[in-house]
Amino acid sequence: MKTTTESRSKTVTTVAARIAGEDIAKGDYVTILSEIIELPSYLWDCSGISQPIDELVRIRYLPNAAGEPHKVVAVCLPFVYAKRPRGNLIAFDTRQQQLVRLDRDNGRSLWKQMGKPAKKKTK
């Protein structure tokens, strides 16, 4: 008995790739993967071990804006300057923010879609 399976969907899954600051170029679509916050150790009371007062505690977290596409307009390391879909600029610091490069087609499509104003509902 022979069995065949047909896929009706031609969905292609892409993966955002982590990128080093020196590999980012003007025109790339990037988004934040994670950020690092640094707090003075005297504010960190979650440890049974005391740390030197001048030592920083680093915490990696996922920001709310993770996944929002940005179009790179200039790179001057460690800073990456990018445009948001609605037009305003943002500066990323690659020492504190891990960026990923989006697939060019997906990035362009998402950037255009997110830049469109929402349609008003009429009753």
Lowest mean pLDDT among 53-57, 80-84, 98-102: 53-57
CATH code of the domain made up of 17-34+65-115 = 2.30.30.60
* Mean pLDDT on 41-69: 78
108 backbone dihedrals φ, ψ, rounded to 5°: -65, -45
Q: What is the DSSP letter of 43?
A: G
Residues 86-115 pLDDT 10s: 889 999 999 999 999 998 888 888 888 888
State the pLDDT at residue 46.
61
Dihedral (Cα; 43, 46, 50, 55), 10-degree rounding: -50
Residue ranges of domains in the chain: 17-34+65-115
Residue 94 to residue 13: CA distance in whole angstroms: 27
Question: pTM of the prediction?
Answer: 0.74
